[in-house]
Structure 1
């Protein structure tokens, strides 16, 4: 009988909530998030037998980051487009990082934790008629 591998590490790439489903105006970060999701799954295949769990945090927009980049006006759009009615707070994302690094998640590997207020179960953020999209002529 061989001994079970003991957990030795938990790399946690920070992906993007929109990395699985295309969303207008996010073409710059969605491919990077998709690559991190694939890297997460690939590393699981290679590293799980050594007790290394790899999980991705699929965070949606963080409240302060959105306000800093776009002003308060964008928050109305995001709240109305997200089932939870709000954006993520940094401490919520950090908390999941702590959980995944701790012993309660020793058997969790290869997951993308959707920290997106429920957007992953529906159409996602509805930007189609958004004021942030460039106008077409």
Structure 2
């Protein structure tokens, strides 16, 4: 078995990246962080073209190239072809960051199969197919690469009202480990980043200061900023993380540590509601 050289063997840093769901929130922060490291970035969006264009302007302000495409993961096989388009425009893909996703707030007994499948389609099937497409480009180029998937603390712990979301995120955690094993011989590392509550549009906290969002149940006492997640992603894309694969990096202010501690302090059963 031969092992392909990693991206750092040729230049020290990756040159091109694709970030799905980069029109706002964590995806936008990741795209901007990678651009700050001199990486050309492919940006995808689902509905918010204006948001994607704003991300692209910030990427270009860093002195690198940006390419924008619409990505519809409700039809994963067709949608994932966008990875091929962006790789063609950018001249390859050294880093893929799977950030596009959706969720629910409905108990499983009340949920239609269509709702279940739509979340799994976007969050799990879409990330699998995008990873498959990107990995094929990386293998063909023979320079190694990085695949980084934004999961959630719900990769590791459940939440009432989020059955398909939690199932998808847990599935992504296992998929990350399988891909890490299968792609290692090609010099491709595969990791996940699992955020807790981050102040983004997805959590209804756009343009707020996380330091002002009081969360007594989180050891650090606040929500997180998208840039705090992006910094971990940026690290995983660098040569410094060349020996890290199959890992999940939790970025949650200590939230997951609170299971037994928090459960003993609950005063009512409100937690049973989505």
TM tier relative to shorter chain? 0.7 to 0.9
Q: Which residue of 2 aligns with 1:85?
A: 221
The separation in 2 between residues aligned to 1:26 and 1:80, in whole angstroms, is 22
TM-score for both structures, normalised by structure 1: 0.77
**Matching of residue 17 in structure 1 with residue 156 in structure 2:** no
Over residues 93-132 of structure 1, what are the superposed CA-to-partner deviations in whole Å (9 max), with x where a residue is unaligned? Answer: 1111110001110000001000111123331895964757
The separation in 1 between residues aligned to 2:260 and 2:198, in whole angstroms, is 16
Contact 2:193 2:251 in 1 (8 A): yes
TM-score for both structures, normalised by structure 2: 0.41
Over residues 2-36 of structure 1, what are the superposed CA-to-partner deviations in whole Å (9 max), with x where a residue is unaligned? Answer: 87542221111111112212233333421111011
Give unpaired runs (5+ residues) of structure 2: 7-143, 207-212
| Greater relative CO, 1 or 2 (CA 8 Å, sep 6+) | 1
Q: Which runs of 4+ in 1 moved over 3 A?
A: 2-5, 124-135
Which secondary structure does the structure 2 equivalent of 1:55 belong to? strand
Q: 1:17 to 1:134 in 2, by over 3 A?
A: closer
Alignment of 1:1-137 (within 5 A): 5-7=4-6, 8-65=144-201, 66-68=203-205, 75-76=213-214, 79-123=215-259, 129=268, 134=273
Structure index of larger Rg? 2
Which secondary structure does the structure 1 equivalent of 2:160 belong to? coil
Question: Which structure shows the higher strand fraction?
Answer: 2
Give unpaired runs (5+ residues) of structure 1: 70-74
Contact 2:160 2:273 in 1 (8 A): no
